[in-house]
């Protein structure tokens, strides 16, 4: 990362990358609020060397638009209050990102006013990592938990068929100085993409990743892709993934992973479903207890790092520091992707 | 379980067991609201054949009282509202159970009124499984999530020293007919007690359970008990356990697992810390979405059970059905424990 000039890797400024990606998405017909919000995630991902949500994802976004599986011209709408702790945004079939940006400041305000609050995003096509959302909220001084279904690729522990999604679960805690405490992980052992990468490389899967179509453990990527991934942590991870289907699918009146796959008919486009984000005001919960929750949390983080364990997201934050110094590092393939998509845009 | 008469196992009615356990706890000086609430957990655990919180735990409760590590005569107090979504009960140094019983009905009401709400229990000595609390709330028609620290026996993933507790995480979803969907698990691979059992049996630990005092993986129970347990699911479980320290320890202004161990100086007594329970009104979250969350959840549960995977707590519910038919089944050792503790009570 410190030698961006080697092996076809070059730097680009965040502003330049933002402008290029946004222009491609606008040309593809994405509403300006959607284009800007999706672009922010892609640029943030590249800044953090988090390639799974970076430039390579642009084509998936375009494919999803072309397949008519997202309403490109949709504007998100804040729904009337039903309950004071539930901020609800309807994406109206657009990508989730602009809906998050519309609802998040209000979510933080409500959490501070009421102690805790939820942001429900409904009727969205989901293109997002959860950590940029968590970091947006921790920057506003609230702790936050986020979760959503995906599409069915994971069997429940002890089962045989895909029913659950890779269902990400994320959490963040604000830190007054520096980067927040943030984790964001799939509740499957791995993402489906990692199985696909091993298939292409002709490699075997490690034990415990997947079952074949008969529900038997398999190390064969083909059999795994025809069968199902497994949740992380056995029945415990499976239970958490099921909780996510219940809270962030069924409870919020939106699709489960199984329904999302049925509606989409493919695992190569962005899935449709909702998302649930819960925010907590640490000051409100700690009130009258006479101890500062933020300084106490620092002591906990020091005790973790001080024994050689890593805090989550450390790798991303190191990449971000590097990007701030040297620019965002893309490789030749990524630059070619941008140039090719720009040329295709110009022919529209 | 269907032949309670064999091998020293006999049935007792729930009422008889309740009366005998409550009398022992009252004689030990426990305030009536505490004695009744602790007894309810012990009887519920025996009814569900969940021996880890059953009759054998009475002596731990008595030891904790005798060591002065719980305020036996404390009455829990509902604290004045700071924020409408935070119901706060101070246990005043007593066992957590009576505090839960005081706050839980109000928690469910608040969740229905505001969409979601939290119950914070502070300054309690913790003797409880979380599932009885979750089931109390699901019976009131809300979904609920509960978590608490413990005492430091678990190293963070990649670490070497005990810092986290076995930090249980529990969740429940109400079902209109029959038992709720409930899970309740330690975020460590196993409970410390299981290591202790293998040590006594002279057996080795499976891989992945623990590290020795140098942070190296170990299969030796002695080395594990001198070292640290590991979180379930690697860095993911470690992150969830850390979240529990933050939300249900630090945020609520109560002890972390590390502080709790320091205060207690032992892992053989019940630890002091707080607890956080979050309740959600499914009706409120699903409002205006036109789909019944309860019937949709049933379809999800059927899809899990229909492919041969178990729903969590099935074993407990089967035991409960058996207990309802045949009474609660105790073995000779458990009956002897009751008789011995009653005799000791009579000598006070």
Domains assigned to chain B: 1-66+313-348 (1.10.1530.10), 76-188+231-311 (3.30.1370.60)
What would the two tokens of residue B87 be? 């119901």
8 Å CB contact between B104 and B117: no
- Which residues of chain B does A253 touch, with a Cβ-Cβ cutoff of 8 Å? 285-291, 293
Q: Which helix (H) or strand (E) holds A210?
A: strand A210-211
User: What is the pLDDT, as a whole number, of residue A192?
Assistant: 82
Stretches where chain A sits below pLDDT 70 are 1-7
In whole angstroms, what is the distance from residue B251 CA to residue A116 CA? 12
In chain A, the residue whose alpha carbon lies closest to the alpha carbon of B187 is A236
Q: Is the pLDDT of residue B346 over 90?
A: no
Mean pLDDT of B120-142: 95
Closest CA to A340 of A46, A11, A41, A55: A55
Contact A300 B242 (CB under 8 A): yes
Give per-residue pLDDT as tens, B72-88.
Answer: 999 999 999 889 999 99
What would the two tokens of residue B83 be? 């924020």
B90-116 core/surface letters (b: 16 or more CB in 10 A; e: else): bbbbbbbbbbbbbbbeebbebbbebbb
What would the two tokens of residue B89 be? 């009960």
Q: Which residues of A are catalytic?
A: 52-53, 194
Please give the residue that has the higher pLDDT: either B274 or A2: B274
Contact B232 A236 (CB under 8 A): yes
Give per-residue pLDDT as tens, B193-249.
Answer: 789 889 999 999 999 999 999 999 999 999 999 999 999 999 999 999 999 999 999
8 Å CB contact between A262 and A102: no
Closest CA to A229 of A132, A301, A156: A156
8 Å CB contact between B12 and B328: yes
A269-289 core/surface letters (b: 16 or more CB in 10 A; e: else): bbbbbbbbbbbbbbbbbbbeb
- Which residues of chain B does A82 touch, with a Cβ-Cβ cutoff of 8 Å? 115, 284, 287-288
B115: confidence class by pLDDT, cuts 50, 70, 90: very high
User: What is the pLDDT, as a whole number, of residue A295?
Assistant: 97
How do strand B116-125 and strand B143-147 relate by DSSP bridges? unpaired
Q: Is the pLDDT of residue B254 over 80?
A: yes
Q: Strands, DSSP E only, in B127-241? A: 143-147, 168-173, 181-186, 210-211, 217-218, 228-229
User: What is the pLDDT, as a whole number, of residue A270?
Assistant: 81
For chains A and B, CB pairs below 8 A equal 231
Question: What is the C-alpha R_g of chain B?
Answer: 20
In whole angstroms, what is the distance from residue A322 CA to residue B162 CA? 33
Q: Which of B75, B194, B196, B283 is catalytic?
A: B194
The label of the residue with tokens 């170990």 reads B218
- Which residues of chain A does B253 touch, with a Cβ-Cβ cutoff of 8 Å? 285-291, 293
In whole angstroms, what is the distance from residue A24 CA to residue A39 CA? 10
Contact B159 A237 (CB under 8 A): no
- Which residues of chain A does B278 touch, with a Cβ-Cβ cutoff of 8 Å? 116, 278
User: What is the pLDDT, as a whole number, of residue B264?
Assistant: 85
Closest CA to A35 of A10, A18, A47: A18
Mean pLDDT of B181-202: 92
Mean pLDDT of B9-19: 96
The alpha-carbon gap from B25 to the nearest alpha carbon of chain A, in Å, equals 30
8 Å CB contact between B40 and B48: no
User: What is the pLDDT, as a whole number, of residue B1?
Assistant: 42
B3: confidence class by pLDDT, cuts 50, 70, 90: very low
Let me know the angle formed at the C-alpha of B53 by B49 and B55, rounded to the nearest 5 degrees: 80
User: What is the pLDDT, as a whole number, of residue A286?
Assistant: 97
User: What is the pLDDT, as a whole number, of residue B7?
Assistant: 61
Characterise B249 by phi-psi region: left (phi > 0), alpha (psi -120 to 50), beta (else).
alpha
Q: Where are the alpha helices (DSSP H) in A184-313?
A: 192-200, 221-226, 234-245, 257-264, 282-286, 293-305
The label of the residue with tokens 């091998």 reads B7
- For residue A347, give every residue at least 6 positions away whose Cβ sits within 8 Å of its Cβ, in sequence order, or none: none
Closest CA to B168 of B156, B150, B180: B150
8 Å CB contact between A230 and A211: yes
In whole angstroms, what is the distance from residue A35 CA to residue A19 CA? 10
What would the two tokens of residue B257 be? 């697992």
Distances in whole angstroms, Cα of residue B340 to Cα of each of A180, A317, B53, B66, B254: 54, 60, 19, 17, 36
In whole angstroms, what is the distance from residue A344 CA to residue B57 CA? 70
The label of the residue with tokens 């002709």 reads A202
User: What is the pLDDT, as a whole number, of residue B266?
Assistant: 80
The alpha-carbon gap from B10 to the nearest alpha carbon of chain A, in Å, equals 32
In whole angstroms, what is the distance from residue B105 CA to residue A232 CA? 35
The alpha-carbon gap from B262 to the nearest alpha carbon of chain A, in Å, equals 14
Please give the residue that has the higher pLDDT: either A348 or B22: B22
DSSP for A63-105, please give it: HHHHTT-S-TT---EEPPPSSTTEEEEE-TTSBHHHHHHHHHH
Distance of CA A285 to the CA centre of its chain: 27
Give per-residue pLDDT as tens, B164-176.
Answer: 999 999 999 999 8
B231: which DSSP letter? Answer: B
Contact B310 A158 (CB under 8 A): yes
In percent, how much of chain B has pLDDT > 90?
Answer: 87
Sign for the pseudo-dihedral over CA of A91, A95, A96, A99: negative
8 Å CB contact between A257 and A165: yes
- Select from B83, B112, B231 the residue whose CB has the most chain A CBs within 10 Å, as the one to mutate to test that interface: B83
- Count other C-beta atoms under 10 Å from residue A262's C-beta: 12
User: What is the pLDDT, as a whole number, of residue A7?
Assistant: 62
């Amino acid at each position: 990362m410190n030698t961006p000039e080697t092996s076809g890797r070059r730097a680009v400024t965040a502003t330049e990358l933002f402008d290029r990606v946004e222009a491609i998405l606008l040309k593809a017909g994405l509403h300006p609020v959607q284009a800007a919000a999706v672009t922010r995630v892609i640029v943030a991902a590249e800044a953090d060397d988090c390639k799974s949500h970076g430039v390579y994802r642009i084509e998936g976004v375009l494919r999803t638009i072309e397949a008519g599986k997202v309403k490109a011209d949709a504007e998100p709408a804040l729904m009337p209050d039903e309950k004071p702790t539930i901020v609800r945004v309807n994406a109206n079939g657009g990508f989730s990102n602009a809906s998050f940006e519309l609802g998040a400041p209000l979510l933080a305000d409500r959490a501070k006013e009421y102690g805790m609050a939820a942001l429900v995003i409904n009727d969205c096509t989901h293109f997002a990592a959860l950590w940029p959302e968590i970091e947006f909220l921790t920057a506003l001084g609230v702790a936050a938990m986020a979760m959503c279904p995906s599409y069915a690729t994971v069997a429940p522990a002890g089962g045989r068929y895909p029913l659950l999604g890779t269902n990400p679960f994320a959490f963040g805690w604000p830190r007054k100085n520096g980067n927040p405490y943030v984790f964001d992980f799939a509740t499957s052992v791995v993402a489906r993409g990692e199985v696909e990468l091993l298939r292409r490389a002709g490699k075997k899967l490690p034990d415990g990743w997947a079952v074949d179509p008969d529900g038997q453990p398999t190390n064969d990527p083909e059999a795994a892709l025809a069968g199902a991934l497994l949740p992380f942590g056995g029945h415990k991870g499976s239970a958490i993934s099921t909780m996510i289907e219940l809270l962030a699918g069924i409870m919020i009146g939106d699709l489960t992973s199984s329904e999302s796959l049925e509606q989409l008919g493919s695992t190569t486009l962005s899935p449709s479903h909702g998302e649930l984000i819960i925010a907590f005001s640490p000051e409100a919960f700690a009130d009258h207890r006479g101890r500062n929750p933020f300084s106490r949390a620092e002591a906990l983080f020091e005790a973790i790092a001080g024994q050689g364990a890593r805090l989550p997201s450390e790798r991303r934050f190191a990449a971000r520091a590097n990007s701030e110094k040297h620019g965002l590092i893309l490789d030749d393939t990524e630059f070619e992707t941008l140039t090719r998509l720009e040329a295709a845009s110009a022919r529209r």
